[in-house]
Structure 1
């Protein structure tokens, strides 16, 4: 997967496997029992979460969420989604909502001041600052993804190794 040309912070992929969903799920269950030191696996129904083991995990370590969907009798469609640690992702979303809220609040105040013919310079400066903070958050997210790129490739190779077993 070419991660350098992607704008999105959470990378997605799709894979079709010529086996039924129970066989694919069983492969992951077998891997969880036999090779638990390579990758930690959690399964629930048709969802599988692959994580870097605690010994190698950093704050920027990615995880892989797989969703198994039956396509035909003997075919399974797998949706994969790479993402940061859920706690880190929640924190980033919280910061984005704060920035958006401040931007909307100051834009409303700027509009009111404009209608009342009061100077809006301060409000526009804060709005511009919020755009800058939002761009900064995006580039910090890209840096975190770049740091986790090697571990992302590691999770992907384990995923394909499990499918071939």
Structure 2
């Protein structure tokens, strides 16, 4: 498996195929408890995160989805990201900024059509763009701060994957 890319993506994703049936892969991950990681499996979804004493505001988690694509073969889709509550709040802020930008744009267009001054509305739109850029940079900062833990998750996943490919328990 390749190393994690360091591009513009805030939530890196990957796909891996293994020659083991899904039940074997699930069993390997179910028994792969190792400090400081906590594992939780819900049907075909596996969540790997850090224990409370190792968790910070920026701590990432790994979400794996297992799918059968041929008899006896499993595809693993993985996504590294922050705590889902934090990610949802972060996306809510982005959506709020975008909604305010559109509203100010419509308002500015209407006022401009009527011949009124729109300076404050344009300043507000520029400030919203600055806020959006700040949110993006905040997300990049969080990714950078959580990179060490993301690499730990990646190493642990690779250990589990080697066990899966050997067909052995950890």
TM-score interval for Structure 1 and Structure 2 normalised by the shorter chain:
over 0.9
Q: CA deviation at 1:38?
A: 2.9
Aligned to 2:76: 78
CA distance in 1, matches of 2:9, 2:123: 28
Per the normalisation by structure 1, the TM-score is 0.94
- The reply to whether residue 142 of structure 1 matches residue 151 of structure 2 is no
Instruction: Indicate the SS of the match to 1:79.
Output: strand
CA distance in 2, matches of 1:18, 1:54: 34
CA distance in 1, matches of 2:98, 2:126: 12
Aligned partner of 2:40 among 39, 42, 49: 42
- The reply to whether residue 22 of structure 1 matches residue 23 of structure 2 is yes
Unaligned runs of 5+ in 2: 164-170
| Residues 69-148 of structure 1 mapped to structure 2, 5 A cutoff | 69-148=67-146
CA distance in 2, matches of 1:160, 1:3: 16
Aligned to 1:156: 154
Equivalent pairs, count: 161
Aligned to 1:12: 13
Unaligned runs of 5+ in 1: none
CA distance in 2, matches of 1:92, 1:38: 26
CA distance in 2, matches of 1:75, 1:97: 39
Provide the alpha-carbon RMSD of the alignment.
1.0
CA distance in 2, matches of 1:130, 1:29: 45
> 2:36–2:54: 8 Å Cα contact kept in structure 1?
no
CA distance in 1, matches of 2:21, 2:139: 36
CA distance in 2, matches of 1:112, 1:133: 24
Per the normalisation by structure 2, the TM-score is 0.91
Show structure 1 runs of 4+ deviating over 2 A.
1-4
CA distance in 2, matches of 1:58, 1:3: 23
Q: CA deviation at 1:30?
A: 1.2
CA distance in 2, matches of 1:93, 1:18: 36
Pair 3,148 (structure 1): closer, same or farther in 2 beyond 3 Å: farther
